[in-house]
Structure 1
C-alpha cells in the first residue's frame, strides 16, 4: 500500500469519525456533561473537535496548559509536553488543537511505518487488511483523540522497525520516548532484547537498548522530587474510580467477574454495552495473544502478551478496548485472516464497523467507553 493510498483511507476514516460524531448529536442519547472536553459550552459549539478531549483528554490539556494537578501523575509527560510546545505557535494556541494535531500526524506516520514493518515478512495484501482491521476496530477513534494512543503507536512501531532493520540506536531512542509516553513503553525493553538476541547478540547493538528504560526513570525521578513517591503514576490510579485493585488479580478471576456483571447489570443502561465490549475484547485478544507465540516473532509475541496482560492484573478489563490498540501483533493476525477469507472480511469488518459507530457515538455524547 502506497502512502498516497494510505492517506486517502486515513482521510476517509477521519471524515467518518466527524460524521458519526455530528450525527450522534441528533441521536436519542442524552448528553452526559460530567467529562466533556473543555466544558459544555465549548462542546456544544464544536462537538466534532471538543469531543476528542472527553474523559482523559481533559487531563492532558490541563497538564499542557498548567502543569500537573492533583492525582494527574497517572498521565506520562511527553504528550502534554509536546502539546505545550505547539501551543506557543500563534495558530496553535489551543490545547485541544495541539493535541489532536500531534495524534493525527503521529498515528498517520505510525500506520505508514506499520505497513513497512509488515512488508518485511508478509504480502501487501496482509498489510492492507491489517491496517483496515485496525481502523475499523471499535475503539480506534482514540488514536486521533487527545490521548497518547496515536503518539505511542508511532513510537512503538518505529522502535520495532528500527530494530528489525538493525538501526539499534534509533530503536533505543524511540523506546526511551515510548517509556516517557506510557508505562507500557518499558515493555519494549524485553521485546527488543529478544530481537537483539535473535539477530546475532552483538554487544555494541545491545548498548542502545539500555536507553529504553530512561524515559520511565526520568519520570520516576521527577515524581520522587515532586511527590515523594516515584510510583505515584500507579498509586493514583485508585482515584479514577475504575475499580482497579492494588493487589494482584489473576486473569481467570477477571473473566469470572465479568460473567457475573453480564448477568446482573441492567441491560438498558448504555454501560452494559461497554461491559460487553470489554469482555469480548478480553476474550479475542487473549486468543490472539496466545496464538501470536505460534505465528509471530518472539519479540512481537512478548510485547503483545505484556501489553495485554498487565492491565488485567488490576482486576478489570476497564479501558482494555483502548489498551489493546497497541497490541499490533494481534491486529496482524486479524489482517492475515482477512487477507485469506472474503467471508471473514464481511463478518469481522461488519461487526467492527457497527460497533465503531455505536461506541464512538457513546464517547461523543459523554459516555464512558475505554
Structure 2
C-alpha cells in the first residue's frame, strides 16, 4: 500500500496513492475522522450521510490516543491494528485450549490471511470488533461472566452487529441452565448500545438515530435483498454485459463459464483415475479461472452463503455459543435490505474462522493453496483501497 500502490496512476475517483498515512484512510475512515474532530451530527433529513450511523467506541479510543499529540490517522491505525493483533492472539490461545495447536494455527491463519483482514489494518473498526466479540465469546464459554459482560458491552458500543451476542448468550444460558449470573451478563451486553441510544436521545431527540441514519445507504429497503443477490448470481453465471442487456449479447462469457463448470464436473467424475494430487491441482486451476472470469462477486457469495453452510456443518464441533452467534450475525447481515459490505461483515464473524480452522487442520493440503489465493486477493484489495477504490 505504501510502496506499490503509488506506482499506479490516479484511480477512477481521481485519487493517486502516495507514500503516507492517506493510503490507510478511505471510505468509512472519513466519517470516523469527522466524529473525532467535529463530533456527531444528525437531522431528520436522512438523504445525506450522518455520522451518527457510526458507533462511538472506535472514535473515542482514537481520541484518547490523540491526547499524546498524534494525528487522527496515526491514532486510528494504532487502535485498529493493536486490537486486531490482540484478537489474533486471543483466538489462537482459545482454539488451542478447545482443540490443538494445529487447529489454532489454521484458525488464526484464516482470520489473518482472509483478504478482508485488510480492514483490520486500515482505519476501520474490524480489528476492534473482532477483539471485543472474540473475547466476549471466549469468556462466556469459560463461564467468566464479568469479562463476558465487559467485552460484550464494548462490542455493542463498537458496531450494531455486536447485538448478535445477546441471543447467543441467552440461548446458551437457557439450554445449559447456567443460572442468574449468565442472564445478567447477557443483559449487560446491551449496555453499549443502550448508552449510545441514550446519548442520541439527549443530543438529537431520537434514541434510534443511528438506525434511522442507515437510510442514507439503503433507503427504505428492508429484509432479504432478493434482487441484489439475484443480480450478483446472474452476473456470475451469464456476465455483467448480458445481464444488463437482458439477452445474450456476449456469448463468450456464458460459454467459458459452462466450460469451466463442465471441466470441474469431469474432474470430479474421474478423480480416482487421476489421483488426488492431479485432482487437487486441477481444481486449483479451475477455481483461478472461474475467479478471473467472474471477479469479486464469486468470492462474496462463497464467503456469505458458503460461510452459512460451513457453520451448519460445524455446529456439533465448535462451542454452541459461537454457533448461535454466527447464525444470529448472518440473520442481521442478510436482513439489511442491501448486499453492500455483506462479505466484510461476514468476515467479522469469528465463528467462521474457528470452523474453517477445524476444516483446514483436517485437510491441510487444501489449506496451503487457499492461503496463497487469499494472499493474491489481499494484495489486490490493498492496492485498490490505497487508491480509494471500493473493496467491500
Structure 1 residue 255 and structure 2 residue 229: aligned?
Answer: yes
Deviations 1:152-175 (Å, cap 9, x if unpaired)?
111111111221222201111111
Report the equivalent of 1:301: 323
Q: Compute the displacement of 1:191 (Å).
A: 1.3
Larger Rg: 2
Q: Compute the displacement of 1:33 (Å).
A: 4.2
Report the equivalent of 2:11: 31
Distance across 1 between alignment mates of 2:365 and 2:96: 24
Distance across 1 between alignment mates of 2:300 and 2:181: 43
Structure 1 residue 282 and structure 2 residue 304: aligned?
Answer: yes
Q: Compute the displacement of 1:196 (Å).
A: 3.2
Report the equivalent of 2:249: none
Change in Cα spacing, 1:184 to 1:65, as seen in structure 2 (3 Å) is same
Within the candidate set 42, 63, 85, 1:84 is matched to 63
User: Is the Cα contact below 8 Å between 2:81 and 2:120 reproduced in 1?
Assistant: yes
Moved more, 314-323 or 121-130: 314-323
Change in Cα spacing, 1:311 to 1:204, as seen in structure 2 (3 Å) is closer
User: Aligned ranges for residues 209-220 of structure 1 at < 5 Å?
Assistant: 209-220=186-197
Moved more, 208-217 or 285-294: 285-294
Report the equivalent of 1:8: none
Deviations 1:183-236 (Å, cap 9, x if unpaired)?
111111121223334554222343233211111111112112222322222222
Structure 1 residue 316 and structure 2 residue 338: aligned?
Answer: yes
Q: Compute the displacement of 1:257 (Å).
A: 2.8
User: Aligned ranges for residues 15-164 of structure 1 at < 5 Å?
Assistant: 18=1, 21-27=2-8, 30-33=10-13, 44-46=18-20, 49-69=21-41, 71-90=50-69, 92=70, 94-164=71-141
Distance across 2 between alignment mates of 1:300 and 1:97: 33
C-alpha RMSD of matched pairs (Å) = 2.5
User: Is the Cα contact below 8 Å between 1:139 and 1:360 reproduced in 2?
Assistant: no
Give SS of 1:255's match: helix
TM-score normalised to the size of structure 1?
Answer: 0.83
Change in Cα spacing, 1:45 to 1:339, as seen in structure 2 (3 Å) is closer
Change in Cα spacing, 1:98 to 1:151, as seen in structure 2 (3 Å) is same
Distance across 2 between alignment mates of 1:277 and 1:61: 30
Within the candidate set 371, 383, 391, 1:349 is matched to 371
Within the candidate set 334, 344, 366, 2:388 is matched to 366
Distance across 1 between alignment mates of 2:334 and 2:385: 22
Distance across 1 between alignment mates of 2:150 and 2:63: 21
Distance across 1 between alignment mates of 2:141 and 2:61: 27
User: Is the Cα contact below 8 Å between 1:130 and 1:335 reproduced in 2?
Assistant: yes
Structure 1 gap ranges (5+): 1-17
Report the equivalent of 1:176: 153
Give SS of 1:209's match: helix
User: Is the Cα contact below 8 Å between 2:384 and 2:391 reproduced in 1?
Assistant: yes
User: Is the Cα contact below 8 Å between 2:200 and 2:209 reproduced in 1?
Assistant: yes
Q: Compute the displacement of 1:104 (Å).
A: 1.3
Structure 1 residue 201 and structure 2 residue 178: aligned?
Answer: yes
User: Is the Cα contact below 8 Å between 2:145 and 2:185 reproduced in 1?
Assistant: yes
Change in Cα spacing, 1:211 to 1:62, as seen in structure 2 (3 Å) is same
Structure 2 gap ranges (5+): 43-49, 243-252, 254-291
Report the equivalent of 1:13: none
- How many residue pairs match? The answer is 335
Report the equivalent of 1:11: none
Report the equivalent of 1:9: none
Deviations 1:86-114 (Å, cap 9, x if unpaired)?
11112x2x001111111111111111111
